[in-house]
Amino acid sequence: MKVYSFGLETAPTILLLPGTCCDWKGNFGKVIPLLSDTFHVLCVSYDGFDKTEHTEFSAMLDETAKIEDYVQKNLGGQIRAAYGCSLGGSFVGLLAARQNIHMDYEILGSSDLDQASPFVAKLETNLLVPIIYPMIRDGKFKNRLLQKRMKHSMEKNGDYGKAFVEMLGGVRPFVTKQSCKNQFYPVLRRKPRPT
């Protein structure tokens, strides 16, 4: 896991946590310049999703512990706010529940609050990841019909469709299918109890 830092380190710190299988820059690249005028902005890049590392995303609780460790070592265990988009919101919830760091504000954005059983979550993960993974790795769907629908949707939705694809982070051949599975599964199943 990497943490990218922007703005003055003496300003209040806001921690940004990207969504499922998303690139930190794709999620937050356009707001960082706006926030860094007022805040010390930290963007988390999860294991398995940073082009500068050869890692694999293993589990939410492991990544949560790494985030807590970073905040404790570098910021005295305190930040002004944490914002999580989608999967990132689940991380914000875990950080708040575990109470190993202090956050003045916790913000959930478009968070996944699905509560499937482990069996259903595994089934959904095994159905979805083979469909979505080629889009993450190659920037296009393997299935021609899906790719055609995507192209049509992009043309129909214009800038909104383009922004959605950019949020994913473009072509990322370094992301493994297992990293995607390891992010999808906990998003779909009942949330783990904090330890």
Number of domains within the chain: 2
> In the prediction, which pLDDT does 193 show?
60
> In the prediction, which pLDDT does 178 show?
96
> In the prediction, which pLDDT does 186 show?
82
Which pTM value belongs to this model?
0.88
Tell me, yes or no, whether 122 and 177 share the same domain. Answer: yes
Name the residue with tokens 């995507």.
150
**Taking Cα atoms as reference points, which of 158, 133, 157 lies closest to residue 146?**
133
Tell me, yes or no, whether 146 and 172 share the same domain. Answer: yes
Tell me, yes or no, whether 93 and 8 share the same domain. Answer: yes
Both tokens of residue 13?
A: 């710190």
> In the prediction, which pLDDT does 116 show?
83
Tell me, yes or no, whether 159 and 83 share the same domain. Answer: no
Helix (H) or strand (E) holding 135: helix 118-138
> In the prediction, which pLDDT does 148 show?
92
Tell me, yes or no, whether 96 and 181 share the same domain. Answer: no
Tell me, yes or no, whether 23 and 98 share the same domain. Answer: yes
- Asked if residue 135 is part of any domain, the answer here is yes
Pairing outcome for strands 40-45 and 13-17:
parallel
Whether 124 and 132 have beta carbons less than 8 Å apart is answered as no
CA 168, 130, 125: angle at the middle one, nearest 5?
85
Name the residue with tokens 């509560």.
115
Tell me, yes or no, whether 94 and 144 share the same domain. Answer: no
Nearest 5°: phi and psi at 158?
Answer: 55, -125
Tell me, yes or no, whether 132 and 57 share the same domain. Answer: no
Both tokens of residue 76?
A: 């005295």
Question: One-letter amino acid identity for 161?
Answer: G
Tell me, yes or no, whether 95 and 127 share the same domain. Answer: no
In a structure prediction context, what are the per-residue pLDDT tens digits for the chain, which is 195 residues long?
A: 999 999 999 999 999 999 999 999 999 999 999 999 999 999 999 999 999 999 999 999 999 999 999 999 999 999 999 999 989 998 999 999 999 999 999 999 877 666 788 899 899 999 999 999 999 999 889 999 999 988 888 888 888 777 777 777 788 999 999 999 999 888 787 655 665
Tell me, yes or no, whether 103 and 16 share the same domain. Answer: yes
Quote the domain boundaries for residue 148.
Answer: 118-188
